[in-house]
Amino acid sequence: MSDGSIDHYDRAAQRAWFEQVIGDLHERFADLTEGEPASYIPELAQVDPDKFAIAAMTVDGVELSVGDAHHDFTIQSVSKLLLYGLALETHGRDAVLAKVGVAPTGNAFNSIALDEDPSRAPNPMVNAGAIAITDLVAGDDLDARVENVRAMYHRYLGRLPEVDQAVWASERATGNHNRAIAYLMLSEGIITDRVEETLDLYFAQCSVRVDAVDLAMIAATIANHGVHPLTGEQVVRRDVTRDQLTVALTCGMYDYAGEWAYSVGIPAKSGVGGGILGILPGVGGIAVFSPRLDDHGNSVRGLRVFEELAKEFELHVFDPSRPWRRPLSD
């Protein structure tokens, strides 16, 4: 890179390249009808299945998007990545590892199975591990714990979070499977006896409303070693982001994590609300929103988009060329 004008040209060219690609992919997959919205949460079953957005944000705050990028949806399991960071900051790595492992599981995200060591949950990206992580949220009562989670979301989003009350109520009314997981963990000593309070908090954290740009911003924050790309605030400690990135790469896509690591190869987290965020360390974040899910609980359009982006830009963490990291004039 010889001078600022060339740098500016290259950045502009890279932006134009990326904008063209995501525009083409949005048009290409807009008519896809494979998959259905999550039906086990009644409110989610009612969402418009044809909403579709792709968004990206660089670590220096440049935003690109196409489609329904500002359409709100609930964050769902993407929240697990953020709460995991909060637990690590609050309690430290050893204390968290004592309760929740980090090994990928071939089981479904809502499996009742625990770790090989029954005294801890399998990993923080599946429901058992996420409930155990939520149990670690500090506070003397539910209100205090809710405020801690709200403050965390505020740092990531740059605003106080809005909880979708209808989805929250729907999750509480139909959450008996998660209750079974929680009470099993109580019996094994993994979580404390405030089970219903912890579940209420867990359902609330999953019901926070976001859009695709928000997810890209969250991903860019983690990609930027915890520094928010717009506010400049240190949202989460640098050492914590390393652990977030690791579990996102190995466990973030439910029981599809192995296939994802092979075909896309970047840290990511999905949610049954239809969102997927992908993290490019040192570069930025990409998000896709589409409520049509596959049997693993991942967005069908989201998977297709990320697979194509990985091919076009050689995103895989083990790809030696990675053209998105070098000037286009080379």
- Write the pLDDT tens digit of every residue in 118-131: 788 989 999 999 99
- Residue 56 sits in the same domain as residue 142: no
Enter the pTM of the model. Answer: 0.93
Is 175 contained in some domain? yes
Q: Which two tokens stand for residue 232?
A: 């400049």
pLDDT of residue 15: 85
- Residue 119 sits in the same domain as residue 72: no
- Residue 70 sits in the same domain as residue 212: yes
Q: How many CA atoms lie within 13 A of 237 on its CB side?
A: 13
- Residue 192 sits in the same domain as residue 237: no
pLDDT of residue 324: 55
pLDDT of residue 323: 55
- Residue 230 sits in the same domain as residue 283: yes
Residue 215 has pLDDT above 60, yes or no: yes
Tally the domains of the chain: 2
What is the C-alpha to C-alpha distance for residues 162 and 184, in angstroms, rounded to an integer?
A: 31
CATH of residue 94: 3.40.710.10
Mean pLDDT, range 212-216, rounded to an integer: 98
What is the C-alpha to C-alpha distance for residues 20 and 32, in angstroms, rounded to an integer?
A: 20
Residues recognised as catalytic: 77, 80, 202, 254, 272
Share of residues in the chain with pLDDT > 70 (%): 93
For 54, the enclosing helix (H) or strand (E) is strand 53-58
Identify the domain boundary among 166, 181, 206: 206
- Give the structural domain span for 98: 79-206
Identify the domain boundary among 171, 206, 241: 206
Is 147 contained in some domain? yes
What are the tens digits of pLDDT across the range 11-53?
A: 788 888 899 999 999 999 999 999 999 998 999 999 999 999 9
pLDDT of residue 10: 73
Write the CA distances from 125 to 79, 134, 177, 234, 257, integer angstroms: 9, 12, 17, 23, 11
* Cβ atoms of 132 and 190 closer than 8 Å: yes
- Residue 294 sits in the same domain as residue 239: yes
β-bridge partners, 163: 208
Share of residues in the chain with pLDDT > 90 (%): 84
- Residue 29 sits in the same domain as residue 14: yes
What is the C-alpha to C-alpha distance for residues 156 and 184, in angstroms, rounded to an integer?
A: 32
- Residue 230 sits in the same domain as residue 306: yes
What is the C-alpha to C-alpha distance for residues 324 and 18, in angstroms, rounded to an integer?
A: 9
Alpha helix ranges (H) inside 158-194: 165-174, 176-187
Is 112 contained in some domain? yes
Is 330 contained in some domain? no
- Residue 159 sits in the same domain as residue 265: no
Is 83 contained in some domain? yes
* Cβ atoms of 225 and 238 closer than 8 Å: yes
